[in-house]
Amino acid sequence: MLTGSMFRYYFLQSLAISLLGHRCSGGNVLLVPMPFFDSHWFGLAKIGQALVKRGHVVTAVVPVDILKKRQAERPDFHFETFEDNGTGARLKEVQEMYFSVAKTMSVYESFRLALSCTEDITNHCDMLVGDKDLINRLKVSQYGVVIFDPIFPCGAIVAALIDTRVPLIAILRGDLYFLGEKATGVPLPPSYVPFLTCDFTDQMTFVQRIQNVLLWTLAPTMTTWLGSKTYDGLVRKYISERDTIQSVVSRTDLWLHRTDNVLDFPRPFMPNMVQIGGVNVQAVASLPKELESFVQSSSTDGVIVVSFGSMYRTLSPEKSEIFAAAFARLRQKVVWRYVGEKPTGLGNNTKVMNWLPQNDLLGHRKTRAFVTHAGYNGLCEAMYHGVPVVCLPLYGDQPANAARVVARGLGVKLDFSTVTADQLYQAVIHVLTNNSFQETAARLSRLHRDQPQPPMERAVWWIEHVIKHGGLSHLRARAVDLPWYQYYLLDVAAFLLAVCTAVMGAMLCSCSFMYGVFWHFCRIFSAKIK
């Protein structure tokens, strides 16, 4: 029988355990998103929303001028703001300009455009990390983890300023400055790992392997220099003279890669690199009433979904007429995400919308094909729902994504800059009437769905794992800390070469000595005979 004092003891103990358990179940998460590429923000925000549902407090750092927009998108988030003096808006303008001419720009012109943005990116990051009031507020909040995108590694600088002990997580599809490759020490053999932005597969010809080697050699050299030019000055200014952006990013505990084993080609991974491709795919919701009626009106012919993503919604008048003419010839209904003046050749079967519920449409039983720019989020949704694809890649990783679609048999690829109405019409008909595309799409969907954890659950589990243990330093490869000559075993090679040289020299000296002795005795023996 419990006494009063014993009862109070067990009650207080139970209450303490309960409170501690509640405290451990949630943590403070800080997101430092990019000032451009809205699709990256959408992916990051979806992960943040999943963390909110798990009881975490999620805070995002955004410029003052977009605060209301972000609050409307994610009312469950907390926000910290800073004044960016218009740098974010200017970067968005450059981004829009780049999208409009991406297919006509050479690699050199693209690099020059990226170089021209350096000053605004540097200033934008400087405004963020130089806001002392903001940094002090972030320090007081005691965040359990900071999440950033390596394309905008300013988040790593923020984490170092808050507290170098705060765990750091990177979420990425591509690594513009190749900080991750050095930070993880992962080997990427160019013999079968195609460069991210080129349309090679993992089965390259001899000429393609030559090109791939050159890309893996030259591109990292140029963009690493660009990253240093953009961020190293800020690192020296706010952290220390001996640090660089590479050393700051190398503190990252976990790398969440938006890649997938079904769609992407196999490549080496380190223990602190986790694949979360398809993290954007959600359960299918009902369509709005008007859109559902339009989809149902397609009868047995079905629906074609057309979208070029969140950042490329308006086509040139000439291109929009080409697309409209191709769609008008189809028996299927077409739902097209399009902003701007309607093309004059728009068919009665085509519905244009400023925004469309892409995931819900692709998951609808009447959807037959997806016409897209081959953005990775859209391709993951199409693969998950088993929908064949017609790709018209524009820029960035999209040509590589389209190459993966073709290699896997999920769809076909067209050249956006030269496509005609007839070519687009024939491509759509081809994926609709060729059963191999439907069968492959269904098979890839089954493969992608057959995972121990859905990608979002996996991402959340790993983030919580980092928060729970205060970092995952035991997963970091020693390669990160090795000097380059040790990583490539040049010191070992030099030692072995020296040993081999010494042994060969000793052997040569011994042979020379033995030959001299032998020759000497031969002369003595020859003289005695005479």
Measure the CA–CA gap between 356 and 309, rounded to whole angstroms: 10
> 191 or 518: which carries more pLDDT confidence?
191
Given a cut of 50, whether residue 21 has pLDDT beyond it is no
Q: Which one-letter amino acid corresponds to residue 168?
A: L
What is the secondary structure of 77-131 as a DSSP string? SEEEEE--TTHHHHHHHHHHHHHHHGGG--HHHHHHHHHHTHHHHHHHHHHHHT-
pLDDT 10s digits, 310-365: 666 667 889 999 999 999 999 999 999 998 889 999 999 999 999 999 999 999 99
Residue 389 — φ and ψ, nearest 5°?
A: -130, 140
> Please, what is the Cα angle at 32 between 30 and 37, to 5 degrees?
145
Confidence of residue 117 (pLDDT cuts 50, 70, 90): confident
pLDDT at 118: 86
User: How high is the pLDDT of residue 5?
Assistant: 45
Task: Determine the 3-state secondary structure of 59 from DSSP.
Answer: strand
User: Is residue 111 pLDDT above 70, yes or no?
Assistant: no
What is the pLDDT of the chain when averaged over all its residues? 89
Distance of CA 223 to the CA centre of its chain: 16
Q: Where are the beta strands (DSSP E) in 246-404?
A: 254-257, 273-275, 303-307, 333-337, 350-353, 367-372, 389-391
**Structural domains of the chain ordered from first start:** 26-280+457-481 (3.40.50.2000), 289-449 (3.40.50.2000)
The yes-or-no verdict on residue 524 having pLDDT over 90 is no
Write the burial class of residue 345 (CB in 10 Å: 0-12 exposed, 13-18 middle, 19+ buried): middle
Q: Convert 124-160 to b/e letters by CB count within 10 Å (16 or more is b).
A: bbbbbbebeebbeebeeeebbbbbbbbbbbbbbbbbb
CA distance 487 to 66: 44
pTM for this one? 0.87
pLDDT tens-digit readout, 276-304: 999 999 889 999 999 999 999 999 999 99
For position 108, what pLDDT does the model report? 60
User: Which of 90-99, 202-211, 236-245 is predicted least confidently?
Assistant: 90-99
Least confident of 21-30, 59-68, 231-240, 516-525: 21-30
Measured at the CA of 48, the angle between CA 44 and CA 51, to 5 degrees, comes to 145
Render pLDDT for 453-504 as a digit per residue (tens, 0 to 9).
Answer: 999 999 999 999 999 999 999 999 888 888 889 988 999 999 999 999 999 9
Tokens of 91: 């970067």
Find the range with the poorest average confidence among 37-41, 236-240, 516-520: 516-520
Strands 389-391 and 28-32: unpaired
Contact 41/33 with Cβ under 8 angstroms? yes
For residue 103, give both structure tokens: 């297919």
Radius of gyration for the alpha carbons in the chain, expressed in angstroms and rounded: 29
Report whether pLDDT(442) > 90: yes
pLDDT tens, position by position, 197-211: 889 999 999 999 999
SS3 sequence of 233-286: HHHHHHCCCCCCHHHHHCCCCEEEECCCCCCCCCCCCCCCEEECCCCCCCCCCC
**Most distant pair of Cα atoms in the chain: their distance:** 124
Q: Where are the beta strands (DSSP E) in 284-361?
A: 303-307, 333-337, 350-353
Helix-helix angle 421-433:435-449, to 10 degrees: 70
CA distance 408 to 402: 10
d(CA 150, CA 153): 5
Neighbours of 425 (CB within 10 A): 16
Tokens of 341: 């003046």
With bands split at pLDDT 50, 70 and 90, how would you rate the model's confidence at 18? very low
Q: How far apart are CA 232 and CA 226, in angstroms?
A: 10
Q: Which residue has the tokens 């690829």?
A: 413
Q: What is the mean pLDDT of residues 264-278?
A: 95
Q: What percent of the chain has pLDDT over 70?
A: 89
- Is residue 32 predicted with pLDDT exceeding 50? yes
For residue 528, what pLDDT band results from cuts at 50, 70 and 90? low
